[in-house]
């Protein structure tokens, strides 16, 4: 049975705000200590600390919210319509990103890492040589678009489970989960990290600082959480408690990070560290969900515009950042000035591309996963 549900506008606000945070995160990647496509000659401990803090919850909330959005999508769509929409909205932009937006990023990475010498045109034939991340160049995951790849795959493999949860969801309509529900989510998220070694495509934390399995757990958890109507009361009622817990747990986590604590896989300390990481993640996610539902559950023309622009912005932002950043990091300027210049110039270019080219072009809207052009006042 297909039914209509009221739109949860605070989820749209979270999506818009977090994609801006991801943008700022990627601008900082030129200056942190981890390897990236392009690095500045001078690195910044501030950037390194900031990117570590953000990586602990930024992509998990994307997958959790994606699970929630899937719950609402399946209230008004059949399984076949859902899959068709996923192909149009996710797979098409992903293929475009792999073939069009990724080659120059890989080229500039190989150039700055002294792994290739020559022009971009001369590099193009080499782009299809081997798999990126496995010794080759072909960006099979679209580089930063790996989120779209995992989301598409997760949507397909979890769909039977989602339909089963949807079928039985009415049994839990009046259920009010306790704080033990949050503890269960934390333990569930920690299990893959405790059981899987930190290497390889599945268990490795190459997916935004988390493993593929952990993202799948978050995606399913988001769907299940929103299938229980009382769950929202849990983060809405205790939002100040989650905020307090987030500060305390993050302080402990940051202390371990800044003092370079390393624990052996399988040891008791390692298990405690993984549990701490999961608790930090969920405390920030539930804090954000609680305060967003309390303060941001409304819509206006700005949200309508930004909500449609989110996907094109996400798709375009890193290719633009990499291209602009390649030149700016070569200038003799302080790190802070370079960061601001990269951020402002990249943001401007992406917004111009969306507003003047993508927004009103039927073809480009298709490529960037958007539907047909509709007047702003007709969107809901």
Note the pLDDT tens digit of each residue in 96-114. 999 999 999 999 999 999 9
Note the pLDDT tens digit of each residue in 149-197. 999 999 999 999 999 999 887 766 566 777 788 889 999 999 998 888 7
User: Under 8 Å CB-to-CB from 320, ≥6 apart: which residues?
Assistant: 346, 349, 350, 353
Q: Is the pLDDT at 376 greater than 90, yes or no?
A: no
Measuring CA to CA, which residue among 283, 277, 271, 279 is closest to residue 196? 271
What local confidence, expressed as pLDDT, does residue 377 receive? Answer: 47
User: Under 8 Å CB-to-CB from 95, ≥6 apart: which residues?
Assistant: none
What local confidence, expressed as pLDDT, does residue 374 receive? Answer: 62
**Alpha-carbon radius of gyration of the chain:** 21
User: Under 8 Å CB-to-CB from 296, ≥6 apart: which residues?
Assistant: 9, 10, 13, 14
- Secondary structure of residue 14 in the 3-state scheme: helix
| Residues above pLDDT 90, as percent of the chain | 81
User: Under 8 Å CB-to-CB from 278, ≥6 apart: which residues?
Assistant: 186, 187, 189, 190, 193
Q: Is the pLDDT at 3 greater than 60, yes or no?
A: no
Q: Is the pLDDT at 291 greater than 60, yes or no?
A: yes
What local confidence, expressed as pLDDT, does residue 1 receive? Answer: 43
What local confidence, expressed as pLDDT, does residue 5 receive? Answer: 59
Q: In the block, which residue shows the tokens 């539930």?
A: 286
Q: Residue 210 carries which DSSP code?
A: B
DSSP secondary structure string for all residues of 149-171: HHHHHHHHHHHHHHHHHHHHGGG
Neighbours of 77 (CB within 10 A): 15
What's the whole-number average pLDDT of the chain? 92
Reported as a pLDDT band with limits 50, 70 and 90, residue 379 is very low
Neighbours of 341 (CB within 10 A): 18
Query: Would residue 167 be called left, alpha or beta, if left means φ above 0 and alpha means ψ between -120 and 50 degrees?
Result: alpha
What local confidence, expressed as pLDDT, does residue 181 receive? Answer: 83
Identify the H or E element spanning 11.
helix 9-28
What local confidence, expressed as pLDDT, does residue 378 receive? Answer: 45
Overall average pLDDT of the 56-84 stretch: 95
Overall average pLDDT of the 264-287 stretch: 94
Q: Residue 376 carries which DSSP code?
A: G
Note the pLDDT tens digit of each residue in 293-341. 999 999 999 999 999 999 999 999 999 999 999 999 999 999 999 999 9
The domain spans of the chain are 9-349
Measuring CA to CA, which residue among 220, 169, 249 is closest to residue 3? 169
């Amino acid at each position: 049975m297909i039914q209509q549900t009221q739109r949860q506008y605070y989820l749209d606000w979270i999506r818009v705000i977090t994609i801006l945070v991801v943008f700022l995160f990627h601008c900082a990647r030129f200056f942190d200590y981890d390897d990236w496509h392009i690095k500045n000659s001078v690195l910044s401990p501030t950037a390194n600390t900031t990117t570590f803090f953000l990586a602990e919850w930024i992509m998990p909330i994307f997958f959790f919210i994606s699970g929630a959005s899937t719950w609402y999508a399946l209230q008004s769509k059949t399984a076949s319509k859902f899959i068709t929409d996923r192909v149009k909205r996710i797979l098409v932009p992903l293929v475009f990103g792999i073939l069009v937006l990724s080659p120059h990023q890989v080229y500039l990475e190989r150039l700055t890492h002294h792994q290739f010498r020559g022009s971009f045109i001369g590099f193009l034939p080499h782009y299809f040589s081997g798999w990126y991340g496995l010794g080759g160049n072909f960006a099979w995951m679209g580089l930063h678009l790996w989120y779209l790849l995992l989301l598409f795959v997760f949507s397909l493999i979890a769909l039977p489970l989602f339909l089963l949860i949807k079928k039985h969801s009415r049994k839990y309509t009046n259920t009010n989960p306790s704080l033990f529900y949050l503890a269960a989510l934390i333990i569930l998220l920690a299990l893959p990290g405790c059981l899987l070694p930190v290497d390889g495509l599945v268990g490795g934390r190459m997916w935004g600082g988390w493993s593929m399995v952990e993202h799948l757990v978050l995606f399913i958890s988001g769907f299940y959480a929103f299938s229980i109507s009382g769950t929202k009361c849990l983060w809405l009622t205790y939002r100040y408690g989650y905020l307090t817990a987030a500060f305390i747990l993050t302080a402990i986590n940051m202390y371990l990070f800044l003092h370079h604590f390393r624990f052996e896989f399988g040891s008791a300390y390692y298990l405690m560290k993984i549990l701490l990481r999961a608790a930090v993640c969920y405390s920030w996610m539930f804090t954000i969900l609680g305060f967003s539902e309390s303060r941001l559950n409304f819509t206006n023309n700005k949200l309508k515009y930004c909500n449609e622009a989110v996907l094109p912005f996400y798709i375009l932002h890193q290719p633009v950042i990499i291209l602009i950043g390649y030149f700016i990091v070569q200038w003799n300027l302080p790190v802070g000035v370079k960061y601001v210049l990269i951020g402002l110039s990249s943001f401007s270019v992406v917004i111009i591309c969306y507003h003047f080219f993508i927004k009103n072009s039927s073809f480009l809207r298709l490529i960037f996963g958007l539907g047909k052009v509709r007047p702003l006042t007709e969107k809901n």
